[in-house]
Amino acid sequence: MINIPKTEKKRVVIVGCGFAGLTLAKKLKNKGYQVVILDKHNYHQFPPLFYQVASAGLEESSILFPLRKIFQQYPDYHLRKVEVKSVDTINNTLNTSSGDIEYDYLVLAHGATNAYFGSSEMQKHSRGMKTIAEVLDLRNSLLMNFENALTAQSPEERDMLMTIVIIGGGPSGVEIAGALAEMNKYVLSKDYPEFKEIRAKIYLIEALDRVLSSMSPKSSDKARGFLEKMGVHVLTNTMATGCDEKSVTIDSGKSIKTGMIIWTAGIAGNSMGGLNADCFLRNGRIIVDSYNRVSGYPNIFAIGDISVQTEEKYPKGHPQVAQVAIQQAQLLAENLGRMKNNQILKQFKYKDLGTMATVGRHLAVVELPSVSFQGVAAWFVWMFIHLMSIIGVKNKLLIFINWAWKYFTYDQSTRLILRPKGCADISSNNYSTPE
Ligand SMILES: Cc1cc2nc3c(=O)[nH]c(=O)nc-3n(C[C@H](O)[C@H](O)[C@H](O)COP(=O)(O)OP(=O)(O)OC[C@H]3O[C@@H](n4cnc5c(N)ncnc54)[C@H](O)[C@@H]3O)c2cc1C
């Protein structure tokens, strides 16, 4: 049993302290509950800038924030770094990696992971960008490939190591493609003068007929134009049908030789045992009603990426973005307050504040509710909004300095290959992911 003394207050247990869990926890301050936060990491992470860490543009510490620091001034808040395995809904208990814990109200906010649509090959050979561990592995492997390309035994092997295939043309795929194209242009030429004219070749593969399909066709066209101008090969209406350690096959039958497959195409709920099977969609996300309550469980809620909730305007569910997670958390905190006072609960209605994606220096697309624009202005808006959304003054400052440095010097900060003990960081032609 996890030892947290019970008080006369009802206990809300929050699983996961991403955008949803963190917002809820903060908003529950002074609402009269004991709050227990469980997360398998001891930090809050900022996924919208993962691609900059993956492409060696930012240090990981500037997009992570220690959870204990956030909750120093919160009375009757209890944080435990544990992995939650399952729920016992009969006894209102959670089973975790460090024992059980009871709850009065349970809020599942444990987010999402990669979905590979049943392709075990893709799962084995591609690299994802859903956690900071995956992102660091991607960065190390990418830099290692460039090093190995210098000692490659044949031009074919060198080309394979210098070819990057990104699968999925949503915002994450577009942003990492743009960042790698910039790295290719401004950094590789200086770091690896031996390559002379040989640069990385970057493919972006998208099954639909346009990239950024959640945005307007105009933004999609602009983004594609930006990417192509930067040398990215954008293949739309193209499915990746298979892969092995050194190639990706597409539906035309063509095979692209590559030492780096980046997977941004699918999303599935992180697993959680103990709930009825009919609470889940096929991809593991948890179906909730308009109060974010899990069907059949009056005291269990799910918010953020793990939940799927429909409303008239979103018959297939909301987009899996930070604003949905934050707004659901804000309303749930208010509703938990209302529950305490036996008041009627409010239904969730998503307020879309807009979407944006950046491709590179002076190249971004922004769609706000009243206006859409692209190019330089969009890029500055993108930077401002992301900078303001990062937690912590120090992190804001670090990122600002990094961006300003990069803007004026065209250089990137962290081209270091760092592996934990036990993972070889000098591998002659070993391209597989370390355990
Ligand atoms: C690469 C990338 C780029 C993105 N870019 C944008 C963007 O530009 N704009 C935007 O709005 N959205 C973006 N998103 C989406 C956005 O990050 C998510 O919608 C948001 O993070 C969802 O918040 P959440 O709290 O539901 O989940 P998360 O932020 O994923 O948090 C989940 C938390 O649960 C914890 N956890 C997971 N499983 C367990 C367990 N079993 N036990 C204990 N703890 C657990 C994790 O450690 C984590 O802290 C991006 C996502 C990615 C991956």
Ligand 1, residue 272: give the atom nearest the CA: 41
Ligand 1: which of 22, 39, 327 to mutate, judged by most atoms within 8 Å of the beta carbon? 39
**Ligand 1 neighbours (beta carbon < 6 A):** 15-21, 38-41, 47-48, 50-51, 83-84, 109-111, 129-130, 171-172, 270, 304-306, 320-323, 325
Could you identify the atom of ligand 1 that is nearest to the CA of residue 22? Answer: 25
pLDDT under 70: residue ranges of the chain: 197-198, 413, 423-435
pLDDT of 435 reads 34
Could you tell me the pTM of the whole model?
0.94
pLDDT at 425: 53
Q: What is the dihedral of CA 166, 170, 176, 181, to 10 degrees?
A: 80
**Of 2, 23, 40, best ligand 1 pocket probe by most atoms within 8 Å of the beta carbon:** 40
pLDDT at position 409 is 84
CA distance linking residue 316 with residue 350, whole number of Å: 13
Query: In angstroms, what is the span from residue 398 Cα to ligand 1's centroid?
Result: 22
3-state SS, the chain, equals CCCCCCCCCEEEEEECCCHHHHHHHHHCCCCCEEEEEEECCCEEECHHHHHHHHCCCCCHHHHEEEHHHHCCCCCCEEEEECCEEEEECCCCEEEECCEEEECCEEEECCCEEECCCCCHHHHHHEECCCCHHHHHHHHHHHHHHHHHHHCCCCHHHHHHHCEEEEECCCHHHHHHHHHHHHHHHHHHHHHCHHHCCCCCEEEEECCCCCCCCCCCHHHHHHHHHHHHHCCCEEECCCCEEEEECCEEEECCCCEEECCEEEECCCEEECCCECCCHHHECCCCCEEECCCCEECCCCCEEECHHHEECCECCECCCCCCCHHHHHHHHHHHHHHHHHHHCCCCCCCCCCCCCCEEEEEECCEEEEECCCCEEECHHHHHHHHHHHHHHCCCHHHHHHHHHHHHHHHHHCCCCCCCCCCCCCCCCCCCCCCCCCC
Mutate-to-test residue for ligand 1 from 286, 288, 321, highest number of ligand atoms within 8 A of CB: 321
In this structure, the strands spanning 112-114 and 77-81 are: unpaired
Ligand 1 centroid–CA 423 distance in Å is 26
| Distance from residue 159's CA to the centre of ligand 1 (Å) | 34
| Predicted local confidence at residue 428, as pLDDT | 40
Q: Which pLDDT belongs to residue 266?
A: 87
pLDDT at residue 407, rounded to an integer: 84
Q: List, for residues 40-88, the tens digit of each pLDDT value.
A: 999 999 999 999 999 998 999 999 999 999 999 999 999 999 999 999 9
**Ligand 1 nearest atom to the CA of residue 96, by list position:** 42
Give the residue, by CA position, lying nearest to ligand 1 atom 30: 111
Distance 47 CA to ligand 1 centre (A): 6
Q: How far is the CA of 305 from the centre of ligand 1 (A)?
A: 7
Pocket test for ligand 1, best of 17, 110, 114 (most atoms within 8 A of CB): 110
| Tens digit of each residue's pLDDT (9 = 90 or more) over 400-419 | 998 888 888 877 767 888 87
Residue 414: CB atoms within 10 A of its CB come to: 18
Distance CA(34)–CA(71), nearest Å, equals 13
What is the 85 CA–ligand 1 centroid distance (Å)? Answer: 18
Q: Whose CA is nearest to atom 53 of ligand 1?
A: 130
Going from the Cα of 319 to the center of ligand 1, the distance in angstroms, rounded, reads 13
Ligand 1 centroid distance, CA of 54 (Å)? 16
Cα 317 to ligand 1 centroid, rounded to whole Å: 17
Q: Which atom of ligand 1 is nearest to the CA of 43?
A: 49
Q: How far is the CA of 426 from the centre of ligand 1 (A)?
A: 32
